[in-house]
Amino acid sequence: MIPVHGFEGAKVGVLGLGRSGLSAARALRDGGAIPVVWDDNAAARDKAEAEGFDTRDLQRAMDELSCLIVSPGIPHLYPTPNPVILAALQAGVPVDNDIGLFFQSLGVGWDMLDVTPKVIAITGSNGKSTTSALIHHLLEHVGRDSQLAGNIGRGVLDIDPLGEGSVVVLELSSYQTDLARSLTPDIAVFTNLSPDHLDRHAGLGGYFAAKRRLFAEGGPDRAIIGVDEVEGLFLAGQLSQGPTDDRVIRVSSGTKLTGPGWQVFARKGFLSEYRKGRQIASIDLRSVAGLPGAHNHQNACAAYAACRALGLAPRVIEAGLHSFAGLPHRSQIVGERGGVRFVNDSKATNVDAALKALQAFPRIRWVCGGLMKEGGLGALTPGLKNVAKAYVIGREADAFAMQLSGVETEVCISMERAVASAAAEAQDGEVVLLAPAAASFDQYDNFEKRGDDFMAQVNKALAAG
């Protein structure tokens, strides 16, 4: 655990007692603070009380608090602030989250270390989990002490104290970067941007602004920026002092990057690194089983750039790429029968992620649907040419299917029927792909549960022969 410093003897409110909230309360107490905690869920309060925490309505305790720590799922500004957060803002009580506490407390005791630990923080719309896990894997591959935390792996304050030359790899969502009062990574990565969480950020501009804080507030020593969207180009331009400034590493999937700076890009399945106008390395990604498709090649470029910024050699990174198995629910190969592959990409919860999944395979039996997000499905059009047929699930299946113009569709509602139909109709060389392009909450608690159901139905179909 990372004890939180700076609040010794002071009362600190903690709102929300899920993984990050309860972890923050423990770390505050370990650092000498007096946590006062609350969650609207009675079971969460009972769990906190069992650990000896003071559970109280925080609105009534606001005049006692030095700070309020908020869990990421609780809105602090849009669409409307949570009443407790609004009370804190009106009372002048600072509002922060566990990420801010982590960066505030991280460096205590580092003056005793010869090699200072590093923090790599990854944000973006799609690919940040795979990129984070891949960086962590590559570091472990070379024997570097590494911990994976934040929005993936362990809670950020639950990690072990950092030792000589160790690295923390943090996946950070827009909810986390938007509120953290302290953001000071050594290396920051921006994967890409596509519309998501727009209600929480009052539009795409607010969403991008939340991501941008990691770079503007954090001032990382090295920034790795995906430049396939205009927002990434803009961010790279803001951070760079000129064309030769190699503190910014530009990353692309599909576009050859030129110029005198530092670039890493993938084209036609090959990763290339250029620096000062010269090619430094090239890696064939086509045989890397854990990273199929152009979207995963972008993740590979970002992870490669982060590891190069830490001084790892290209050939060492290449070897590590081949041993990466991928993450569950992200282009995960579930099984194969009669030349038909079954792939679980349940994490493709928005249109951009689903489009990239559709573009990764030439002929697809597509399981899709769920709670549609703002903007509709029009952006999927470039990938629909790869779809042999769509099998639509979810409570909004009829409305979802109506937006898939020019594609044969079957309204299945349930995952069981969708997988059974797709498996029965799939031909040699085709892929049965779950890439929902929608949220899961109409039928499942989260995208993991949806992916688990897909895998269970696939295994059922495979067992039936």
- Please indicate if the annotation marks 124 as binding a ligand: yes
Strand partners, 439: 371
What's the confidence (pLDDT) of residue 422? 98
What's the confidence (pLDDT) of residue 238? 95
Mean pLDDT for 69-98 is 96
> 348 falls in which pLDDT band (50, 70, 90)?
very high
| Whether pLDDT at 107 is above 90 | no
Comparing C-alpha atoms, which of 119, 135, 186 is closest to residue 305? 135
| Whether pLDDT at 109 is above 80 | no
- Please indicate if the annotation marks 130 as binding a ligand: yes
- Per residue in 31-42, is it b (16+ CB within 10 Å) or e — as a string? bebbbbbbbeee
CA–CA dist 24, 275 (Å, integer): 42
What's the confidence (pLDDT) of residue 293? 83
Q: pLDDT for 214-265, tens place per residue?
A: 999 888 999 999 999 999 999 999 999 999 999 999 999 999 999 999 999 9
Share of the chain above pLDDT 70, in %: 100
Is the pLDDT higher at 333 or at 366? 366
What's the confidence (pLDDT) of residue 29? 98
What's the confidence (pLDDT) of residue 325? 84
Domain 11-96 sits in CATH at 3.40.50.720
| Whether pLDDT at 111 is above 90 | no
- Please indicate if the annotation marks 129 as binding a ligand: yes
Q: Hey, where are the domains in the chain?
A: 11-96, 107-322, 332-464
What's the confidence (pLDDT) of residue 153? 78
| Whether pLDDT at 101 is above 90 | yes
Q: pLDDT for 120-135, tens place per residue?
A: 999 999 899 999 999 9
- Please indicate if the annotation marks 32 as binding a ligand: no
Q: pLDDT for 171-223, tens place per residue?
A: 999 999 999 999 999 999 999 998 888 899 999 999 999 999 999 988 899 99
Give backbone dihedrals phi and psi of 366, rounded to 5 degrees, phi first.
-105, 115
- Please indicate if the annotation marks 128 as binding a ligand: yes
Class of the domain covering 107-322: alpha beta
CATH superfamily of 332-464: Mur ligase, C-terminal domain (3.90.190.20)
> 326 falls in which pLDDT band (50, 70, 90)?
confident
Contact predicate 130/330, CB 8 Å = yes
Contact predicate 454/394, CB 8 Å = no
CA–CA dist 58, 77 (Å, integer): 18
AA identity, residue 420: A
